[in-house]
C-alpha cells in the first residue's frame, strides 16, 4: 500500500473500532453519548493536522476550517459519525484483507458468514485491492467513517501543500442515521456556499436526488370491556389496526416490492393493545405529488375503517421529514457540475442515480446549502457483510482534492 492508502486504512479502522451507534428512541442531542468519543478524537486529529477554528458544537457536530490559498466559493465537506441502529455495532473489529484474490471472504467470528462477488457483485471489480470488513458479528461502520477518513486525509494533504484552493469548511455530524444530523444551527455554523456529503457507494457516484419523505402516525382507540361481557360492546383496537394495514396496497407500494423511482408506504412499528394501538409509517416518493398521493391512500384506509366502526376513534397525522434535493439543485447545478468535472479530471465517469433514502444533504439543501452526495466506495451497508476498498477511498480523497483545485479562482 502507498502512504496515502496506509493513512486511509489506519484512519478507517481506528474510527470504525469506536462504537458510535445512534438511538432513535433517545431525546438527547446527540442521541448517544458514545458518539462524543469519536467527536473528541476528531477534534484532536483536526488540530494535529493544522486545521483552524476546530470546535465541537453543543449539538455534537465537529467543525473546522481549511484556510483558502485562493479566492473562490466556500465549500463544505460533511460526513456523519454515527452508525445505523439496525444492526449490532458494539465491539467492531475491523480487519484488512490485503491484495484481495477475487475469492470468498470468510469471517473469524461467524463461520457461517461468507462474502463473495456473487453476494456483492461490485467486489468482483476489486481484485488486487485492499478490502476492509468487520469480523462477522457487527456492521463495519464504513457508513460513514469512510467519509470521515476521506475528508481528514484530503484535508491533511491540502494543508501540507500550497496549491490553490478556496476556503473549505469541514463538518462531522452525529445522528444522520436517525434523520437528526442537521441541527437548525448547522447551515449558519458551516458558513459554506455549497457543500458535499461523502456518504455514497461505488466509485463515480455523484448523487443529487433523494427521496421526499413524510412520517405518519395512526392511532386507534377502541372500546375496552371485560371480554366475558363484551358482546356488542367491545371494539378491539388490534383488529382495526390490522384492517388498516390490510387495506394498504401490499403488492405495489411496500419497500420489499419497489425499486428504481417507485416510492412506498412502509409500516415501521405497531404497538399497543386491544384498547389503544399506534402504527408508525414512513412515506417515500421522488415526487411531491406521489408523496401526497401516498398520504391520501393512508388517510383513505383509516377513513374506511373508521366508517365501518364509528365507536372507534382513529387519527392519522402526517408530517414532513425531508425533501428531494433535486428541487433545489436542478435550478443551479454548479455544485454537481464541479464534482462531475473534478471526477472526469481523474478519469472517473460520474454516475447519478436517485438515492432511495435521504442524507444530511437532503436537509441541508432544503435549508439553503446545496449539498450533493459523493462516493466513498462503501458497500453492503448496515449489516455484517459491510465492506470497502481502500483504493476506492483513495479515489474519493483525490476527488475532494480535485474539487478544491477546480474551485480555486485566479
Site residues (vs Zn ion, CB under 5 A)? 143-144, 199
Strand extents, DSSP E, 139-253? 168-173, 194-200, 206-207, 212-221
Q: Which is nearer to Zn ion, 68 or 358 (CB)?
A: 358
Which is closer to Zn ion, CB of 13 or CB of 210?
210
In this structure, the number of other CB atoms found within 10 A of the CB of residue 185 comes to 12
CB 338 to Zn ion: min, Å: 22
CA 130-389-160 angle, 5° bins: 90
User: Nearest 5°: phi and psi at 121?
Assistant: -55, -30
Dist CA 12 CA 40 (whole Å) = 16
Q: Nearest approach, Cβ of 38 to Zn ion (angstroms)? A: 14
Give the shortest CB-207-to-Zn ion separation in angstroms.
12
Catalytic residues: 82, 176
Half-sphere exposure for 350 (CA within 13 Å, toward CB)? 20
Taking the complex as a whole, the smallest distance from the CB of residue 339 to Zn ion amounts, in Å, to: 18
3-state secondary structure of 120: coil
- In this complex, which beta carbon is closest to Zn ion, that of residue 200 or of residue 335? 200
> What is the helix, strand, coil percentage profile of the chain, to 5?
35, 25, 45
For helices 288-308 and 237-247, the axis angle rounded to 10 degrees is 140
Give the nearer residue to Zn ion in terms of CB position, either 80 or 126.
80
Q: Is residue 345 helix, strand or coil?
A: helix
Nearer to Zn ion, 318 or 399 (CB): 399
Q: How far is the CB of 80 from Zn ion (least distance, A)?
A: 6
Amino acid at each position: 500500500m502507498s502512504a496515502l492508502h496506509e493513512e486511509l486504512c489506519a484512519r478507517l479502522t481506528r474510527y470504525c473500532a469506536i462504537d458510535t451507534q445512534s438511538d432513535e428512541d433517545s431525546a438527547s442531542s446527540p442521541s448517544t453519548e458514545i458518539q462524543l468519543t469519536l467527536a473528541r478524537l476528531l477534534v484532536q486529529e483536526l488540530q494535529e493536522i493544522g486545521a483552524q477554528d476546530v470546535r465541537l458544537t453543543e449539538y455534537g457536530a465537529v467543525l473546522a476550517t481549511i484556510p483558502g490559498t485562493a479566492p473562490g466559493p466556500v465549500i463544505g465537506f460533511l460526513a456523519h459519525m454515527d452508525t445505523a441502529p439496525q444492526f449490532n455495532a458494539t465491539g467492531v473489529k475491523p480487519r484488512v484483507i490485503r491484495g484481495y484474490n477475487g475469492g470468498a471472504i470468510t469471517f473469524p467470528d461467524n463461520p457461517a458468514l461468507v462474502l463473495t462477488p456473487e453476494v456483492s457483485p461490485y467486489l468482483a471489480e476489486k481484485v488486487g485491492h485492499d478490502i476492509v470488513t468487520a469480523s462477522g458479528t457487527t456492521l463495519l461502520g464504513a457508513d460513514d467513517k469512510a467519509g470521515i477518513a476521506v475528508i481528514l486525509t484530503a484535508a491533511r494533504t491540502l494543508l501540507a501543500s500550497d496549491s490553490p484552493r478556496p476556503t473549505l469548511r469541514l463538518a462531522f455530524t452525529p445522528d444522520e442515521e436517525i434523520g437528526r444530523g442537521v441541527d437548525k444551527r448547522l447551515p449558519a455554523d458551516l458558513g459554506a456556499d455549497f457543500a458535499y456529503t461523502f456518504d455514497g457507494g461505488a466509485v463515480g457516484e455523484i448523487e443529487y436526488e433523494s427521496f421526499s419523505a413524510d412520517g405518519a402516525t395512526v392511532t386507534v382507540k377502541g372500546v375496552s370491556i371485560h371480554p366475558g361481557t363484551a358482546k356488542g360492546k367491545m371494539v378491539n383496537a388490534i383488529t382495526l389496526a390490522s384492517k388498516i394495514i390490510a387495506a394498504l396496497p401490499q403488492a405495489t407500494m411496500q419497500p420489499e416490492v419497489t425499486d428504481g423511482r417507485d416510492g412506498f408506504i412502509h409500516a415501521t412499528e405497531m404497538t399497543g393493545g386491544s384498547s389503544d394501538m399506534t402504527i408508525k409509517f414512513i412515506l417515500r416518493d421522488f415526487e411531491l405529488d406521489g408523496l401526497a398521493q401516498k398520504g391520501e391512500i393512508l388517510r383513505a384506509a383509516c377513513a374506511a375503517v373508521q366508517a365501518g366502526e364509528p365507536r372507534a376513534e382513529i387519527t392519522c397525522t402526517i408530517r414532513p421529514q425531508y425533501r428531494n434535493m433535486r428541487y433545489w439543485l436542478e435550478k443551479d447545478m454548479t455544485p454537481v457540475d464541479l464534482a462531475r468535472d473534478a471526477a472526469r479530471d481523474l478519469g472517473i465517469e460520474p454516475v447519478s442515480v436517485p438515492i432511495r433514502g435521504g442524507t444530511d444533504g437532503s436537509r441541508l439543501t432544503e435549508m439553503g446549502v446545496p449539498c450533493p452526495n459523493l462516493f466513498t466506495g462503501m458497500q453492503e451497508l448496515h449489516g455484517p457483510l459491510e465492506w470497502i476498498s481502500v483504493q476506492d477511498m483513495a479515489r474519493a480523497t483525490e476527488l475532494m482534492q480535485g474539487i478544491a483545485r477546480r474551485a480555486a479562482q485566479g
